[in-house]
A and B are shown apart, each in its own frame.
Chain A
């Protein structure tokens, strides 16, 4: 019997179902109407939940938030031209932060390609540099193959975004649907094989170390290797710190957790990076925000680098041993060869820096001696009043760093943030995605008054789908991080950083979202508790110190030991 034929648009949705997609973020338009038409027919039967964001950038960031908290691939469908251009920021962000996405963009019909047709843009040309893979589908019969490949590529190995540019005629052509999941691509090896020599050499270096120190990144989360990491660190008694994206790997109260490294990291792990004898980087990529001045980054240390991506080894920091592979496998292999060790004295030596940072920075942030609230107080208050299954999604800038420093993250208390690209406007839509990707968690967006306005239209999405996201706007009426740089390095020349804001609470109310504005310390705790208790979305605006500065800070291009605690 002849198989029933379906359209390419239907095939796309059937293929999604084969990949167990349940949530799609998107926005319709001319060149993708057939797919939305098929969605109209099959939405219920395929149990596909489509979230109509208010801007395509919002769809991309929402898919990122969804992917980051669920471990699944985030899916986006938008039209051609302007829509394809609008997803670029989210795709670039996902590329730098290794977030698995499959983004489908509509495209002009094949016969019009290259003719500057209406809403035509060169999506492949634009996205090749910012995707793990991008592919133009010109025939319906290629849809199953391309979608299967797209999910495999997005998810396997070091995850990343894939763009599928789907021509309109391919959406309309009739085909017999069949689907086979991709399990192998000849030209792509997702996980390099473990090299026993490197494993042995790494173990040997660690066993000889007197002052070993580990820096942990998102790779451990992506490899789901938290337990393997603890076994590794515990056995050889290695103090460790995390990168910004690795913040939720280790519990804050874990004995060997020494905090965060980098430009706004903690003093102790930054200073100790340049004192340790063996530096062990695990699933992190030595971003310039971590290393500061490269030539003065850990010059005394022998460096061991665990990573899944061969192009990361010796990219920024020259290493003694590169241990390629999935950390889920490489860490246990090394752990097995480790001697039990005790580095009590070395670990205790972190303490003096910790105390110094507390005295010079933390105590001033949390217990200021004036009436004006600090960002840190707000984040601390949130952290203290929330339990397990809490997700904080940050925007970018001072709000982000403060959230990273004062929200106690670990495993079931996650932080989702835009690390590599540093995308202002990431927070609100990513919060929408996080809430849908982890319905069992309470999701809080921490944003500034600048970043929130870059994607504030997503309050509409929150309203329509009744997404219980809590939004905290830390309002200082400044683009705070840029203002901080202007104060510290540009002679207080505040060029275009002071900002006039709308009435955020009235704006939230216009979207039917409850809200409250806090200006005084005495109201903070109660307002935070009211927000947490709310069973629907909530906007909490807190007026904070106008000219606050996030310390500690390693000035750009300086050695990490030149960390500033005050101006």
Chain B
């Protein structure tokens, strides 16, 4: 089946060991995780994993259901790139001298919407946020003058809906809680 880059968003309670439980599901299904970011969400106490992986639709659907099956996972979703707004961040360290030999650095910084974080006489640190393709392009351009150090973050992504998609689920669960505790058991 055709492989696509999927972005999986996992919302979870803040419990120790959840990362392992989430990654096990990918491992068992022989899918490599391309990138993984963990952060808080807009909902207090709810953590959010953003994971990218190349696989087919059937597999990602099964993975998401098996992740959701974990007790402390609230909900998991998967998206293709057109359904989300996403970003990655890259840091480059280049020799300062190499920047001073031409005005190319200005062109690059403007073109890729990058910015300079630190300048010393030996090196300069440049930060760039963008899609992977944009980062790859800037990498190639800068690497003509030999990049000293480079790092790129995992993807972060948000959906096009106005609130966290989890909110509906939490409302349903809250209704269930009320039902359980107000019921006659």
Among B20, B73, B176, contact of A128 (Cβ-Cβ < 8 Å):
B20
Residues of A within 8 A of B13 (CB): 186-187
- Say yes or no for B42: interface residue by CB 8 A criterion: no
Q: Is the beta-carbon distance between B66 and A186 smaller than 8 angstroms?
A: no
Closest B-chain residue to A153, C-beta based? B71
Given A124-B17, A128-B21; A184-B65 close (CB under 8 Å): no
Among A128, A134, A184, A310, contact of B177 (Cβ-Cβ < 8 Å):
A184
Among B20, B28, B170, B185, contact of A125 (Cβ-Cβ < 8 Å):
B20
Q: Is the beta-carbon distance between A186 and B74 smaller than 8 angstroms?
A: yes
Residues of B within 8 A of A184 (CB): 176-177, 180-181
- Say yes or no for B68: interface residue by CB 8 A criterion: yes
- Say yes or no for A183: interface residue by CB 8 A criterion: yes
Q: Is the beta-carbon distance between A129 and B28 smaller than 8 angstroms?
A: yes
Give residues of chain B (5-33) contacting chain A, Cβ–Cβ below 8 Å: 12-13, 15-17, 20-21, 24, 28
Q: Interface majority SS on A: helix, strand, loop or mixed?
A: mixed
Q: Is the beta-carbon distance between B71 and A183 smaller than 8 angstroms?
A: no
* Interface bits B164-179 vs A (CB < 8 Å: 1, else 0): 0000001001001100
Q: Is the beta-carbon distance between A128 and B17 smaller than 8 angstroms?
A: yes
Q: Is the beta-carbon distance between B176 and A189 smaller than 8 angstroms?
A: yes
* Interface bits B53-94 vs A (CB < 8 Å: 1, else 0): 000000001100110110111100000000000000000000
Min CB distance B60 to A, Å, is 13
Min CB distance B22 to A, Å, is 10
Given A184-B176, A186-B177, A187-B12; A311-B24 close (CB under 8 Å): no
Residues of A within 8 A of B74 (CB): 186-187
Q: Is the beta-carbon distance between A136 and B65 smaller than 8 angstroms?
A: no
- Say yes or no for A133: interface residue by CB 8 A criterion: yes
**How far apart are the CA atoms of A262 and B88 in the complex, in Å?**
49
**How far apart are the CA atoms of A184 and B61 in the complex, in Å?**
27
Min CB distance A319 to B, Å, is 13
Residues of A within 8 A of B12 (CB): 187
Q: Is the beta-carbon distance between A187 and B180 smaller than 8 angstroms?
A: no
Q: Is the beta-carbon distance between A311 and B68 smaller than 8 angstroms?
A: yes
Q: Is the beta-carbon distance between A183 and B185 smaller than 8 angstroms?
A: yes
**How far apart are the CA atoms of A136 and B20 in the complex, in Å?**
14
Min CB distance B169 to A, Å, is 9
Closest A-chain residue to B27, C-beta based? A129
Residues of A within 8 A of B65 (CB): 310-311, 315
- Say yes or no for A132: interface residue by CB 8 A criterion: yes
Q: Is the beta-carbon distance between B68 and A185 smaller than 8 angstroms?
A: no
Q: Is the beta-carbon distance between A311 and B181 smaller than 8 angstroms?
A: no
**How far apart are the CA atoms of A188 and B74 in the complex, in Å?**
7
- Say yes or no for A487: interface residue by CB 8 A criterion: no
**How far apart are the CA atoms of A136 and B73 in the complex, in Å?**
17
**How far apart are the CA atoms of A133 and B72 in the complex, in Å?**
8
Give the one of A135, A186, A310 with max B CB within 10 A: A186
Min CB distance B137 to A, Å, is 40
Closest B-chain residue to A310, C-beta based? B65
Min CB distance B68 to A, Å, is 7
Give the one of A125, A133, A134, A188 with max B CB within 10 A: A188
Closest A-chain residue to B65, C-beta based? A311
Min CB distance B171 to A, Å, is 11
Given A309-B69, A311-B66, A311-B68; A183-B170 close (CB under 8 Å): no
Give residues of chain A (87-141) contacting chain B, Cβ–Cβ below 8 Å: 124-125, 128-129, 132-136
Residues of A within 8 A of B73 (CB): 187
Q: Is the beta-carbon distance between A315 and B176 smaller than 8 angstroms?
A: no
**How far apart are the CA atoms of A314 and B20 in the complex, in Å?**
25
**How far apart are the CA atoms of A124 and B24 in the complex, in Å?**
13
Q: Is the beta-carbon distance between A128 and B24 smaller than 8 angstroms?
A: yes
Given A136-B16, A189-B173, A189-B176; A183-B181 close (CB under 8 Å): yes
Closest A-chain residue to B20, C-beta based? A128
Among A136, A187, A314, contact of B72 (Cβ-Cβ < 8 Å):
A187
* Interface bits B34-63 vs A (CB < 8 Å: 1, else 0): 000000000000000000000000000110
Give the one of A129, A189, A311 with max B CB within 10 A: A311
Among A128, A135, A311, A314, contact of B69 (Cβ-Cβ < 8 Å):
A311
Closest A-chain residue to B177, C-beta based? A184
Min CB distance A110 to B, Å, is 13
Residues of B within 8 A of A311 (CB): 62, 65-66, 68-69
Min CB distance B32 to A, Å, is 18
Min CB distance A314 to B, Å, is 8
Residues of B within 8 A of A310 (CB): 65, 68-69
**How far apart are the CA atoms of A282 and B62 in the complex, in Å?**
20
Q: Is the beta-carbon distance between B62 and A186 smaller than 8 angstroms?
A: no
Closest B-chain residue to A183, C-beta based? B180
**How far apart are the CA atoms of A135 and B68 in the complex, in Å?**
18
**How far apart are the CA atoms of A189 and B70 in the complex, in Å?**
11
Residues of A whose CB lies within 8 Å of any CB of B are 124-125, 128-129, 132-136, 153, 183-189, 309-311, 314-315
Instruction: Give me 26 A-to-B residue pairs in the complex whose CB atoms sit less than 8 angstroms apart, sorted by A's number.
Output: A124-B16, A124-B20, A128-B24, A133-B71, A133-B72, A134-B17, A135-B15, A136-B16, A153-B71, A183-B180, A183-B181, A184-B176, A184-B177, A184-B181, A185-B71, A186-B74, A186-B170, A186-B177, A187-B72, A310-B65, A310-B68, A311-B62, A311-B65, A311-B66, A311-B68, A315-B65
Give 14 new A-B contacts, CB below 8 A, not counting A129-B28, A189-B176.
A124-B20, A125-B20, A128-B17, A128-B20, A133-B71, A136-B16, A136-B17, A183-B181, A186-B173, A186-B177, A187-B71, A187-B173, A309-B69, A310-B69
- A-B pairs, top 9 by smallest CB distance, nearest first, are A311-B65, A133-B71, A187-B74, A184-B180, A311-B69, A184-B177, A183-B180, A129-B24, A188-B71
